[in-house]
A and B are shown apart, each in its own frame.
Chain A
Amino acid sequence: MWSTLQQVAAGQWQLLADTRAVVLITLLGYIAGLAIYRRARGSMLLHPLLIAAPLIYLMVDQLAIPIDHYLRGNGLLTLALQLATVALALPLALQVRHLAAIWRPVLLLVGAGAVIAAVLALALAALLALEPQLLRSIAAKSITTPIAIGVTEQLGGIVAIIALSVLLTGLFGALLADWLYARCGLDDDRWQGLILGICAHGIGTAKAFETSPRCGAFATLGMGLTGIWSPLFLPWLLPLFL
């Protein structure tokens, strides 16, 4: 155990040691993306990531930086991403009190919902004969990105694709929510939030907070529980579709 701990600690320190000035490119791209997003008063289709990614690609490409060098040089952010994942314990700890009265329907909905979301995506992808590598890369699409990236690495998928898929899933879920809820007559903001959290993780949660704080709280709960539960069943579910 002690030697494993030393190994892990050395690996984490290596992430910092590998960090290079290219991390500035990422920061510049993100700041530009965020500035444009805020100037546009937070229109969802202008998600900072959708603006930042092409900008960063242009810079990396024009400066003739090898992509491996760029990726390794962002080690600091990789470590911060792990810390952010651990930090998700805080919003969850603050929201569990909502569980007390209705834990049974909530757990049932999250338990079944996370599986349904993954099955629908994988079945449709298999039906359209997408490459197995792509199936591995989208299985985790309803999980919040920091967890989804770790899960996808273990499923043998491509990190770039899952990061993009999670983003698109969140955007689609948030865009469709109002229309679907109105059509189906779902007006209880607790359930609206929970379903957004299960299907559309962080972006859905941001959308839920616009409806009401209670809606946002349930979305946080849905996102967190889905993030904990999905990595447990995905390794068993995925091979059924490969």
Chain B
Amino acid sequence: MKYLIGTALLLLFNLLGNTAAQHWQLPLPGALIGLLLLLTALLTVARGWKRRIAPVAEPLIAHLSLLFIAPTIGAFYLTPALQSQLPMVVAVLFISTGAAMAVLIALLRWIVRGVARRRSAS
């Protein structure tokens, strides 16, 4: 029983999200719309559901990588043209991730300083 209500709720919100995405031709994955609908419910009318969903949600999230290993295997079957560029992709990811973090630290400094200045002005 512990798992049933949580599973049913996740299935229901996934179904609703996918239906909404398809019906209105939204440019978002259906499961993401399901997430947003469920989040709205958890924060407003259905706070008590958190405890019902947790026993199912926690193991699913803990083993996320099990759920997407299968599609990664496709990487071994890419065309040679794409495969030859994979080392460059790795380089792009390494440099751009490091750069993004550095830029965000700088941006954070700027934002925090702005907040401090406004506070001292008022």
Interface residues of A (CB under 8 A from B): 1, 4-5, 7-9, 11-12, 26-27, 29-30, 47-49, 52-53, 56-57, 60-61, 67, 70-71, 74, 77-78, 80-94, 96, 104-105, 108-109, 112-113, 116-117, 120-121, 124-125, 128, 130-131, 133-134, 138, 141-142, 145-147, 149-151, 153-154, 158-161, 163-165, 167-169, 172-173, 176-177, 180-181, 184, 186, 191, 195, 198-200, 202, 227-228, 231-232, 235
Report whether B19 and A80 are in contact in the complex, using a CB–CB cutoff of 8 Å: no
User: B48-72: which have CB < 8 Å to A?
Assistant: 50, 53-54, 56-58, 60-61, 63-72
| Contact of B34 with A4 in the complex, beta carbons under 8 Å | no
Q: A138-B89, A195-B104 are in contact. Are A149 and B42 (CB under 8 A)?
A: no
Does more than half of chain B's interface fall in helix, strand or loop, or is it mixed?
Answer: helix
Q: What residues of A have a CB within 8 angstroms of the CB of B94 in the complex? A: 168, 172
Chain A to chain B: the 4 pairs with minimum beta-carbon distance, closest first: A150-B29, A160-B74, A87-B57, A85-B31
The A contact surface, by secondary structure, is helix
When chains A and B are docked, how far (Å) is the Cα of A131 from the Cα of B98?
23
Known contacts A57-B73, A128-B92, A131-B82; is A87 also within 8 Å of B105 by CB?
no
Chain B residues whose C-beta falls within 8 Å of the C-beta of A83 in the assembled complex: 7, 10-11, 14, 31, 56, 60
Interfacial residues, chain B to chain A (CB-CB below 8 A): 7, 10-11, 13-15, 17-19, 22-23, 27-32, 34-36, 38-39, 42-43, 50, 53-54, 56-58, 60-61, 63-78, 81-82, 85, 88-108, 111-112, 115
Give the total number of A-B pairs whose CB atoms are below 8 A apart.
286
Q: How far apart are A83's CB and chain B's nearest CB, in angstroms?
A: 4
Whether B102 lies near A184 (C-beta < 8 A) is: yes
Task: Give min CB distance, A85 to chain B, whole Å.
Answer: 4
**Cβ-defined contact, B93 with A168, below 8 A:** yes
Residues of the B chain whose Cβ atoms lie less than 8 Å from the Cβ of A128: 88, 91-92
Whole-angstrom CA separation of A136 from B39 in the bound complex: 29
Contact B73 A60 (CB under 8 A): yes
